[in-house]
Structure 1
Amino acid sequence: MPTLIKINGFKFFFYSNEHEPKHIHVLKGEEFAKINLANLEVVFSSFKNKDLAFVLEVLKEHKDEFISAWERYFND
């Protein structure tokens, strides 16, 4: 399970056996989200709105970096 970044207790990662479309999982405590990277569409989230807004801001800032990490991991 490659972890891409940990910030303010949020862990951004993908699983080693992932599938398209490119997406990121985010975990904090018992809360969880799955978000597509191409358009930042929230597939699932149990986060409160405030936390989800934070997660989406982090994803906006690191989107290109996360896509590159996905492509390196799955295409190498």
Structure 2
Amino acid sequence: MPVVFRYQGYRFFFFSNEGNPLEPCHIHVRKGGAVAKFWLEPEVKLAESYEMASSELRKLSQLIKQHEALIKEKWNVYFSQ
């Protein structure tokens, strides 16, 4: 599972078996037992979450927007191999 970056206990990552051309670029976020998935295309948008508060999800969405270029670059490099 490639980790793109970490922030205050959150881990932002891809699953190795993703990258299906039919599924757009996205990122998973985990902290303890709490998880979320965000689409990056066509825009940053929450796909699903478990055990995360709304305020946490808003903060994560902003963080993902700030790191969107890095996430997309890592996605393209990793899944083009």
| TM-score after normalising by structure 1 | 0.93
Match of 1:68 in 2: 73
Q: Indicate which of 24, 28, 53 corresponds to 1:25.
A: 28
Match of 1:42 in 2: 46
User: Please, which runs of 5 or more residues in structure 2 have no aligned partner?
Assistant: none
Deviations 1:36-72 (A, max 9, x none): 0121121101210111111111101000110010000
Q: 1: CA distance between counterparts of 2:31 and 2:77? A: 25
CA-atom RMSD, angstroms? 0.9
Q: Indicate which of 40, 60, 72 corresponds to 1:55.
A: 60
Percent identity over paired residues: 36
Question: In structure 1, what residue type is equivalent to 2:40?
Answer: L
4+ long deviations beyond 2 Å = none
Aligned residues: 76
| TM-score after normalising by structure 2 | 0.88
